[in-house]
Structure 1
Amino acid sequence: MKNIDKLIRKAEELQANGLVTRQIADELNVSRETATWLLTRSKKEEASPAPKDISVNWSSIGKSSFRLRHISIALCDMVVETLEKTDQDVEMVVGIGLSGVPLASLMADEMGSELSVYHAYNEHEDDENTRGAFSRNFGSIKGKSCVIVDDVITTGRTVSDVVTDLRLAGAKPVAIAVLVDKSGSEEIAEVPVQSLVSIVRVD
């Protein structure tokens, strides 16, 4: 219960700082349903049952560039192993902002590839048609074979949006690399997923 109380306090702190539910969910590496539950739990006299979710805290990796580099090398190794089966190359590594960018940057360096950054839009969090955009400050994705990098897959929605937007821009997504996959996906939108850790709930 102590960890739940810490998550509730952190969610409330993030909300007080102006973050919307989707941003809070991304920051805490939980689903939007869980973020909503955390934000409303302390306001209710009777607590509703908790959603089935797992919070991921990888700050022990994120605070060390040494650890990030070695994790990135491991992710590169997994991506290369996947792409060797289909004889594909990597021309671009796409980091999903915010947490996927440090990993993507290190992976692009390791693979000798260009770097792109995808910003997921959060202004209209209830609009299912709102996705995101690629930053103009980084490499152009058009015509490139791309590896998508993020920290955690919760539902797969954001990664699926990136796959769609890459294809619409004339790029070819060839692999997805993440630290933790909470969705249990081997593929998202027909793109193979490689994760250091895959979490599967057994009920």
Structure 2
Amino acid sequence: MKNIENLIQKALELQANGLVTRQIADELNVSRETVTWLLTRAKKEDVSTAPKDISVNWSSIGKSAYRMRHIGIAMCDMVLDTVEATGNDIDLVVGIGLSGVPLASLMADELDTELSVYHAYGEHEGEAKLKGAFSRNFAGIKGKKCIIVDDVITTGNTINDVITHLRSSGAKPLAIAVLVDKTGSDALSDVPVHALVRIVRVD
């Protein structure tokens, strides 16, 4: 119960700092439904049962550049098996902001590729589709063969949005690399998912 109370407190703090539901979900590595439940639970004692979700805290990795570098190398190793089997070369690593960018940067350095950054933004209540854009301050995506990097896959919506953007620009997404996959997916939009940790709920 203490962990839930800590999540509620953190969600309230992030909301007080002006973050919207999607941003709080990204920061806590939980679904938007879970964030709504946490914020509602803080206001009422008697709330319906919690959504089925798992909070991921990888701060013990994120606080150390040394650990991040080695995790990035492990993630490179995971995707290279798939990419090399297809006979493709990687031109670009796409980091999903905010938490995927440090890992993507390390991986781009390790793979000697260009780096692109995707920012998810905009959210309409009741709408599952996210909106986003690639930053103009990083490499372009047109016609590139790329891998997509994020920290956690919660629902897959953001990565599916990235894949749609990439394909509409003539880019070819070859693989997805993440620390944790909460969906248990082997692929998203026909792009293989490689996760250091895959969480499977058994009910």
Same fold judged by TM-score > 0.5? yes
One-letter amino acid of the counterpart of residue 60, structure 2: S
Unaligned 5+ runs, structure 2: none
The question of 1:19 aligning with 2:19 is answered yes
Paired residues of 1:181 and 1:197 also in contact (CA < 8 A): yes
CA, structure 1 residues 109+175, in 2 after alignment: closer, same or farther (shift >3 Å)?
same
Deviations 1:34-69 (A, max 9, x none): 010000002113121011000000000001000000
Paired residues of 1:94 and 1:116 also in contact (CA < 8 A): yes
Name the counterpart of 1:79. 79
One-letter amino acid of the counterpart of residue 101, structure 1: V
Q: For 1:61-76, what aligned pairs fall within 5 Å after superposition?
A: 61-76=61-76
The question of 1:159 aligning with 2:159 is answered yes
RMSD, matched Cα: 1.0
Name the counterpart of 1:199. 199
- Give me the TM-score of the superposition, normalised by structure 2: 0.97
- Distance in 2, matches of 1:195 and 1:68, equals 15
Name the counterpart of 1:118. 118
Q: For 1:156-195, what aligned pairs fall within 5 Å after superposition?
A: 156-195=156-195
- Give me the TM-score of the superposition, normalised by structure 1: 0.97
Paired residues of 2:14 and 2:24 also in contact (CA < 8 A): yes
- Distance in 2, matches of 1:100 and 1:178, equals 8
One-letter amino acid of the counterpart of residue 100, structure 1: G
Name the counterpart of 1:135. 135
Deviating above 2 A after TM superposition, structure 1's stretches of 4 or more consecutive aligned residues are: 122-130
Paired residues of 2:130 and 2:161 also in contact (CA < 8 A): no
Secondary structure at the aligned position of 1:27 is classed as helix
- Distance in 1, matches of 2:199 and 2:47, equals 26
The share of aligned pairs that are identical, in percent, is 73
- Distance in 1, matches of 2:125 and 2:93, equals 26
Paired residues of 1:95 and 1:117 also in contact (CA < 8 A): yes
CA, structure 1 residues 194+130, in 2 after alignment: closer, same or farther (shift >3 Å)?
closer
- Per-residue deviation at 1:130? 4.1
Deviations 1:125-165 (A, max 9, x none): 54444420000000011010010000000010000000000
Unaligned 5+ runs, structure 1: none
Give aligned pairs, total: 203
- Distance in 2, matches of 1:187 and 1:72, equals 20
